Every structure is written in C-alpha cells, then in structure tokens.
Amino acid sequence: MTLALGLACLVIGARPGYTGAPRSAVEEFASLREEADAARRSGDKQARLQAVLKIKHLLNDAPDAVEAAAEAYAEAGEAEPALAALREFADLGQADDGLLRRENRKFAALQKLPQYQAILRRFTENKTVILRAERAFELSDPGLIAEDIDYDPESKTFLISSVLEKKIVRVTTEGKTTDFAPSPSGWPMLALKVDTTHNLVWATEVALDGFTVAPKSAWGRSAVLSFDLSTGQLRQRIGGPAPAELGDMVLTREGNPMVSDGGGGGVYRVNGDRLERIDAGDFISPQTPAIDPDGKHVFVPDYARGIGVLDLTTKSVTWLDQPAKYAVNGIDGLYFTGGALIATQNGTNPERVIRFQLNSRRSDIVSEQVIERATATLRDPTHGVVVGDWFYYIANSGWSAVDEHGNPKAGSKLTPARIMRFRLR
C-alpha cells in the first residue's frame, strides 16, 4: 500500500543483524523521535544532530534518513558533513524537488558553494526519464484505485483489487473488466494472490483509518479472505489483529498466505483459521514479501528501513545492501525472479520500478537496473506479477489523486489505472 513517510514519521527498527532488541521497532522509533523532538524544542542543535544520526544508522542509511542528517548538519553549522550527506543522497539516485526549486531554506548557507550546485545538477540527472517497459493495457474505470494484481493462467486474465470501489475485478489482456467479488465487509480491498492449485483467490480487506469509504466504527480493522477462483464465492474470512493494515501478501509454496501489517509492523502467516505472527518485531512498515527459493527465508521490504531477510526458523533478520549502495527504501511491491528482486518504489524521489540483481547466495545486492523512472505516467506504482517472461505492474494506481481520507484532492482528477509490462529475458 502506498505510504507517505517523511522525516516526521521515520521508522526505527533493530540494528542490522541484531535480533535481541528488548523493544519493538515501534517503541524504539517513538523513543528516538522524542529524543530528536526534545532537542529541537530546546534549541540544542548538536543533541538533535546526534539523535538524527542514530536514526540514520538504525534505518540502514536509507535516503530519507541521509538527507535528514544533511539538514541536521547544516542546522548545526557543519557545512562539509552536510555536503557529504547530500552527495550520498544523490549517489543513491535521489532528488529533492524543493531544493531544485529553491523552496527549502535549510541549506541557505550552502547555496552559493560550487559543491552544492554540483549536487543540484546530480539531482536533475537523477530525474531524467528511463523507460524500458511498454504499455500493456488500461482499465476503463478511473474510480477503482488499483492496488494489487495477480494472474490466473487458466482463464488467462488478471485479477486486480480496488481500494475505493471495494472489490476485486477480473481483467482481460485487452483491459476488459468484469466484477469478480466484492469486499464482504464493505472495506477497501488491498492484497491479492491467486492459488490455482487449490482453486482459490486470497485477498485482504482493510478499513483504512480515516478513509471515508469505510465505516468509522471499523477503522483500523483488517481481514484475510479466500474466494473460489471459479465462482468468486467467499470461502473463508480470518479477522486480523486490531489495529492493523494487512495490506500486502505472498503465498508460500504450499499455498499458505503470508501477510504484512504496514501500519503495525507485523508479518503473519495463515495457519488454519487464524493468523500467527512470524517476526520478532524488527519491522515497522513491512510491505509485499517475496519468498526465497530455499523456502526458509523471506525477503521483506520495510518501507523505511530497506529489504530485510527474515529467517522463518529463528525469526532473525539481516538486511540487504550493507553498507548502503542502492536505494532500497520506499518499496511497495517486491518479487523474486531469476536471481533478482524486482521492486515498485513509490517512496523514492523519483518513483521507480527497478530490478536488483542478487549475488549467488542471495545475501546481497550486486547491481541494479531501472525499468521505469520519472515518466509522466508513473504515478504511485503499487504492485506487479511475473507472467512467463514478463513482469506486469500497476504503473498509475490512482493513489496520487486522493488525500489521506481517500477523497479526490482539490484540483486532481482520477485517471484510469495503467498496466505496464517489462520483458525479463
């Protein structure tokens, strides 16, 4: 699910490889955020800088945390470290539109320096258009807000979940749409996975907190659902913990759903008619997991911290890309194919769809290939699916046109979801 995470809500998790943290990620975040806020209120710039650097370390040098460190250095009057952090931010392929428009005055003391101007040029280069994908089809209904997508090889159609219209639709490769199943509770539909072996469609319904399309009495509640793949009839409903936003899902090789709580930090597995938590609290905003081929590990993208590798036996987490060379934050959808991870990133600037090549042990990232970046039609990309030699993904979901309540933004217009595809081989 698309999340708007800025410096004000950066999330803290455990240190890379650290599995015995006495506090959960949420608790650790609250503590460090208060430390930084208290230093700001007191005017102690050095104390605030130290708190922000702790955040940067715990977030595995995610781009947002790197830029926050640059701002804290600048506020403390330390020009060289501020410039170094901004260069690191640019090296991660990022840009700051406010700095390019000269709207951000936090670096006013640096603006005339040639090193700063060189960084702005890097920002501009990072926002140049890259397009290696092609248009597959568009949906005719602009009011859906398309969230997740999967493929049914038997009928050769796609299934797509709708946030605002609270249903799942079946879509042909030409974009012809028919209703598959409604949300049984009348809540937004988010995660979606097809299990042809058991003739099931697994999905989640989430009463997103503050969303006007869900009843206020249900806000903060989620459920995992299964439908008959042939008929769309509801087979099972498993209520989730409250509050929770069970917004993303993957199926194990046995067909058991793993779902992540992007709002509360948990990763869960369906066990019969209940959900069991399978992580130890290292995540704060986990998104779409991807199963390692060994069946013993799961790649879990944390929106703020990057990609964690969860050991299903020990619940320990290690983090890819240490030290940071690539921007692995802001990932909504993550998919393993051909020894690589494909990610849809709606939390980076610019937004991207990207392929991260892994080493032979699948323990680190060795290179990246941008599939789509900074195109006019890439607006809050959400999820995708591998179909044969192609990766299909929702490039224009519609999220960018609605506010935090799910209502159209002033001056914005809902546009049809666009599905793009990229040839993998």
> What is the structure's pLDDT at 1?
57
Asked whether the domain spanning 130-423 has the same topology as the one spanning 9-126, the reply is: no
> Domain map of the chain by residue range?
9-126, 130-423
Decide: 398 and 380 in contact? Cβ < 8 Å.
Answer: yes
> What is the structure's pLDDT at 14?
36
Measure Cα distances from 388 to 136, 148, 392 in Å.
14, 18, 10
DSSP state of 401: G
Average pLDDT by stretches of 10, the chain with 425 residues: 41 40 77 95 98 94 97 97 98 96 88 96 98 97 97 98 98 96 98 98 98 96 98 98 96 96 95 96 95 97 96 97 96 98 98 98 97 97 98 97 95 94 95
Categorise residue 255: left if φ over 0, alpha if ψ from -120 to 50, beta otherwise: left
CA distance 395 to 383: 8
Walk across the sheet containing 157-162 and list its strands: 146-152, 157-162, 167-171, 177-182
| Packing angle, helices 45-58 and 25-42, rounded to 10 | 160
Decide: 195 and 251 in contact? Cβ < 8 Å.
Answer: yes
Q: Which CATH architecture has domain 130-423?
A: 6 Propeller (2.120)
> What is the structure's pLDDT at 189?
98
Decide: 64 and 304 in contact? Cβ < 8 Å.
Answer: yes
Look at residues 309, 322, 308, 280 and name the one whose alpha carbon lies nearest to residue 28.
280
Q: What is the helix (H) or strand (E) element at residue 64, kind and residue range? A: helix 63-75
CA distance 262 to 2: 10
DSSP state of 14: P
Q: Which fold has domain 9-126?
A: 1.25.40
Measure Cα distances from 185 to 112, 162, 188, 206, 375 in Å.
57, 14, 9, 9, 37
